[in-house]
A and B are shown apart, each in its own frame.
Chain A
Amino acid sequence: MNDDPKRITLEEWDRRYTELRKAGMGEPDYGGPLRRHVEDGDLRLLGLRYDNSAASLRLWNFLLTEKDRLHQARARGKKIVGAMKDLGTVPVMAYSLPEVVAFYPDGAWWIPCVMELSAGLLSIADSLGINESFCPVRAMLGAFVTGAHFPRPDLLTCSVGATCDDFSAIAQRLNGLGYPILWWEVPHRRHPDPDEEAVTLPGGFVAPEIQVSFVKSELERLRRAFEDFAGTHLDEDALSAGIERANGVRRVLAELRRITFTAAICPLPALEMLIAEMLAIHFCSDQGEALVVLNGLLNEVKSRVRAGKGVLARESARIFWVNPVADLRIMNLLEESGGRVCGTEYLFSHALDEIPEDMPPMDALARMVLADPMVGTAADRAARVSSDIRAFGAEAVLISRIPGASHCAVEGTVIGDLVRSQCRIPVLEMEVPPISDPIQPTLRTRLEALIETCRELRKECSVLE
């Protein structure tokens, strides 16, 4: 069996799976061939290219069986929290309680892509007055209505304030349909006035102490709600232990990102890296297993780097990716066009940074909330992107615009302008719908142009040297 890393089709995975099983590959209870998910309706899988490692197989299976895990958790008597919008903080609190699991209904935004619109979620959203002028996260409404994609949560939370209007409006629509929501406020992160005490947040942003205190008081409200519905005390020790576990996941992911994005030859494709990053948000409903899955990927990547092997050509253009993309296929398309992802900012970098452990846990979590790149200025976000571009050595930036998203109209322009001037590298902004097939030739042309520009700049640099 040839174990050289490469990107393969689903058909090739069928054969590879048989080979790996014959060779003695062990699998967790959620394991199995990827093909079965297609039979469950995940039609997009047919058109994707995958990493061929057992570690990546486990990652995909872990991702695509989350619904089963949530139902199993409920059957075992666990309480389910549906956390909306904050992307990373509420699950850290929820998983500090042994009998609670948390997930993000927001994740339904990828269902139209993964199921190639066959689930009808966007049509349901349409019928509820939430049409295509809203971000694809409107699929969440359909998922709640059908009840087919996740169990109805016992408690729904939603952060509002400095959030995108799409999400806030869609969550309000959900609330209007009879789903009670615990709303909590996250203020727009501002720079401290000269006479205010400043606090440095994880990731490097700065906020006034008064905002940290306010968010802490909002988190205390959440803590009381968790205690009430779980019927148990969520004390400081439990929270500290929860933060420590979350940081365990984040540390592995940080190492995985560092090695993958800086390796001379790309050791893991962009698609698998995107999914790996998503595990940091809510651990795909099993914190312990998420760590196992990430460690598997990290070991695979280390071994490939040691062997000087990878999945893409050495000369691939190094692209920094901003915003999650509505169609997963585009991550493949970048690689087919001659690029590789070297750095990302998928709107949840605050879920990747380690949470401080040298202070009371609620203070640490409040800082994490305010470190959310979406709650501050686009200039702040651009600064973070620029800093990561330098760290990972990216040669160009791709800003994938989310259709209908209220923040994208202005934010992309600001980030593009600032990054261009701060890093002196080309920037491409392009909108990607959940199913981009009809416009893929156009997208490919634009990606190829970006990559060609990177190559030309490389030549100019080598001449100057």
Chain B
Amino acid sequence: MMNTLVYVCPFVPAEWVAAHGMRPCRLLLDAAKERSLSGVPSGVCPYAHTFMSRALFEADAAAIVVTTLCDQMRRVAELIARSSELPVFLMNVPSTWQTSTAQQLYIAELKRLGRFMVRLGGKSPSREQLAEVMREYDTTRSRIRAARGVLSARHYSEAIATFHRKGSADLAPPGAVPTPRGVPLALVGGPLMANHFQVFDVIEKAGGHVVLDATETGERTLPTPFDRRQLADDPLMELAIAYFGSIPDAFRRPNSELYRWLKRNVTERDVRGLILRRYVWCDTWHAEVQRMREWANVPLLDLDIGDDDHDSRTASQIQSFLAMLK
């Protein structure tokens, strides 16, 4: 659809895009489906590589939005802009978050994104229109949060990813409501690709159960529910608070909020082990492995994901990890 804005970053608010009359689509990449690009230098993270492949062959979008969450994506945006016919918008998402100026920069970037969308044919929303769209999204996210424990771990995470992609979610259990069994685990790290969701099955088969999806595609990056009174008064500010002010991530400086968020959820859900999935060449998550291992009161398994996934190796690592936890 030609009014679609595609992106992968959780700090691009879908409501902001939708309120401008565009269709937001936070892509769920699939390394197995994207075309392999020749001439990509070694050292490029597989996720950034896959994103570039997808973006360069994206035919149905109006534009591509990339953010500065990581250095590689920032630089990949430049490569895409050089080769793609689609306009590319690079949005500055500050790493710092403890100052009002950082929040102001984020809001300024949202406004710039808004002007970009208007140039593409979008319409600048009134305060009421923005608030209305935000309420709709907020309501759907509440329904998704309520579905945790009702859906299987995999279905739940896929529902979140589908919501990001389409703006709606299928929350009907495909069959009988599953009874959680096995060792409760948290899955932590960067984004999953469509061909990675099988990790939930592998974990269950090995005797574990994901009770916390703290990956970038999972519940960690759902913005906090809006304050409905604030929403009516100043929806853009509320949007910034919910996204920029609340989504914990490894790239933030300092990234102490990620650890606070994890501690709260790991404790509440009685998590007994962490699986940290990171892409090869992702320095941001790689640097957290040892620190998280020292910080956590539970064991941690470090899974590095390369260009060519070795499913059997991953499965074997997970099996060994769970054998140790049982």
* Complex interface residues of chain B between 52 and 84 (CB less than 8 A to chain A): 68, 70-72, 74-76, 78-79, 82
A346 at the interface (CB under 8 A from B): no
Closest to A416 in B: B41
B90-126 to A contact mask, C-beta < 8 Å, 1/0: 1010111001011011001000100100000000000
Closest to A190 in B: B90
Once A193-B115, A379-B78 are accepted as A-B contacts, the answer to whether A406 and B287 lie under 8 Å apart by CB is: no
On chain B, the residues within 8 Å of A163 by CB distance are: 71
The answer to whether B68 touches A187 (Cβ under 8 A) is yes
- Which among B136-144, B206-214, B278-286 touches the partner chain? B278-286
B291 at the interface (CB under 8 A from A): yes
Taken together as a complex, chains A and B put the C-alpha atoms of A411 and B39 apart, in Å, by 13
On chain A, the residues within 8 Å of B90 by CB distance are: 188, 190
The answer to whether B79 touches A406 (Cβ under 8 A) is no
The answer to whether B281 touches A410 (Cβ under 8 A) is no
- Which among A67-75, A176-184, A239-247 touches the partner chain? A176-184
The answer to whether B254 touches A214 (Cβ under 8 A) is no
The answer to whether B281 touches A187 (Cβ under 8 A) is no
The answer to whether A185 touches B102 (Cβ under 8 A) is yes
Min C-beta distance of B187 to chain A, whole Å: 19
On chain B, the residues within 8 Å of A336 by CB distance are: none
Choose one: A130, A158, A217, A411; the contact of B75 (CB below 8 Å): A411
A452 at the interface (CB under 8 A from B): no
Taken together as a complex, chains A and B put the C-alpha atoms of A172 and B75 apart, in Å, by 21
A271 at the interface (CB under 8 A from B): no
A133 at the interface (CB under 8 A from B): yes
B228 at the interface (CB under 8 A from A): no
B312 at the interface (CB under 8 A from A): no
A333 at the interface (CB under 8 A from B): no
The answer to whether B92 touches A161 (Cβ under 8 A) is yes
Query: How extensive is the interface on chain B, given as a class?
Result: 35 or more
Min C-beta distance of A398 to chain B, whole Å: 17
* Complex interface residues of chain B between 201 and 260 (CB less than 8 A to chain A): 251, 253-255
Taken together as a complex, chains A and B put the C-alpha atoms of A44 and B70 apart, in Å, by 35
A414 at the interface (CB under 8 A from B): yes
Min C-beta distance of B109 to chain A, whole Å: 9
On chain A, the residues within 8 Å of B42 by CB distance are: 409
A65 at the interface (CB under 8 A from B): no
The answer to whether A407 touches B95 (Cβ under 8 A) is no
Once A217-B101, A378-B75, A408-B43 are accepted as A-B contacts, the answer to whether A187 and B287 lie under 8 Å apart by CB is: no
Min C-beta distance of B62 to chain A, whole Å: 18
The answer to whether A170 touches B79 (Cβ under 8 A) is no
Mostly, the B contact residues are helix
Taken together as a complex, chains A and B put the C-alpha atoms of A26 and B310 apart, in Å, by 65
Once A214-B105, A379-B78, A406-B71 are accepted as A-B contacts, the answer to whether A160 and B253 lie under 8 Å apart by CB is: yes
A232 at the interface (CB under 8 A from B): no
B130 at the interface (CB under 8 A from A): no
The answer to whether B291 touches A409 (Cβ under 8 A) is no
The answer to whether B284 touches A165 (Cβ under 8 A) is yes
The answer to whether A175 touches B254 (Cβ under 8 A) is yes
The answer to whether A218 touches B101 (Cβ under 8 A) is yes
On chain B, the residues within 8 Å of A459 by CB distance are: none
The answer to whether B287 touches A134 (Cβ under 8 A) is yes
On chain A, the residues within 8 Å of B251 by CB distance are: 168
On chain A, the residues within 8 Å of B108 by CB distance are: 210, 214
On chain B, the residues within 8 Å of A377 by CB distance are: 78
Closest to A401 in B: B43
Once A377-B78, A410-B78, A411-B75 are accepted as A-B contacts, the answer to whether A169 and B281 lie under 8 Å apart by CB is: no
On chain B, the residues within 8 Å of A292 by CB distance are: none
On chain A, the residues within 8 Å of B94 by CB distance are: 161, 185, 187
On chain B, the residues within 8 Å of A218 by CB distance are: 101
Taken together as a complex, chains A and B put the C-alpha atoms of A188 and B75 apart, in Å, by 10
Min C-beta distance of B263 to chain A, whole Å: 14
The answer to whether A169 touches B43 (Cβ under 8 A) is no
Once A185-B94, A193-B112 are accepted as A-B contacts, the answer to whether A172 and B253 lie under 8 Å apart by CB is: yes
Once A160-B253, A409-B42 are accepted as A-B contacts, the answer to whether A184 and B71 lie under 8 Å apart by CB is: no
On chain B, the residues within 8 Å of A129 by CB distance are: 286-287, 289-291, 293
A114-157 to B contact mask, C-beta < 8 Å, 1/0: 00000000000000111001100000000000000000000000
> A133, A165, A170 — which one has the most chain B CB atoms within 10 A of its CB?
A165
The answer to whether A183 touches B41 (Cβ under 8 A) is no
B44 at the interface (CB under 8 A from A): yes
A354 at the interface (CB under 8 A from B): no
Taken together as a complex, chains A and B put the C-alpha atoms of A181 and B255 apart, in Å, by 12
A20 at the interface (CB under 8 A from B): no
The answer to whether B102 touches A165 (Cβ under 8 A) is no
A378-412 to B contact mask, C-beta < 8 Å, 1/0: 11000000000000000000000000101111111
Taken together as a complex, chains A and B put the C-alpha atoms of A409 and B70 apart, in Å, by 13
The answer to whether A410 touches B75 (Cβ under 8 A) is yes
A166 at the interface (CB under 8 A from B): yes
Once A129-B291, A406-B283, A407-B71 are accepted as A-B contacts, the answer to whether A187 and B96 lie under 8 Å apart by CB is: no
Taken together as a complex, chains A and B put the C-alpha atoms of A377 and B293 apart, in Å, by 36
The answer to whether A412 touches B41 (Cβ under 8 A) is yes
Min C-beta distance of B135 to chain A, whole Å: 31
> A134, A166, A187, A210 — which one has the most chain B CB atoms within 10 A of its CB?
A187
A to B CB contacts below 8 Å, 25 in the list:
A129-B291, A133-B281, A134-B283, A160-B253, A162-B92, A165-B283, A168-B71, A168-B284, A169-B284, A172-B255, A173-B291, A175-B254, A176-B291, A184-B96, A185-B95, A185-B96, A190-B92, A210-B108, A409-B41, A409-B72, A409-B281, A410-B44, A410-B72, A413-B41, A414-B78
Closest 5 pairs (CB-CB, A-B): A129-B290, A409-B43, A169-B287, A165-B283, A410-B75
In addition to A162-B92, A414-B79, 16 A-B residue pairs with Cβ atoms within 8 Å of each other are: A129-B286, A129-B287, A130-B287, A134-B287, A162-B71, A164-B71, A165-B70, A165-B72, A168-B71, A172-B255, A172-B287, A176-B291, A188-B90, A214-B105, A406-B281, A414-B75
Q: CB within 8 Å of B: which residues of A? A: 128-130, 133-134, 158, 160-166, 168-173, 175-176, 181, 183-185, 187-188, 190, 193, 195, 210, 214, 217-218, 221, 377-379, 404, 406-414
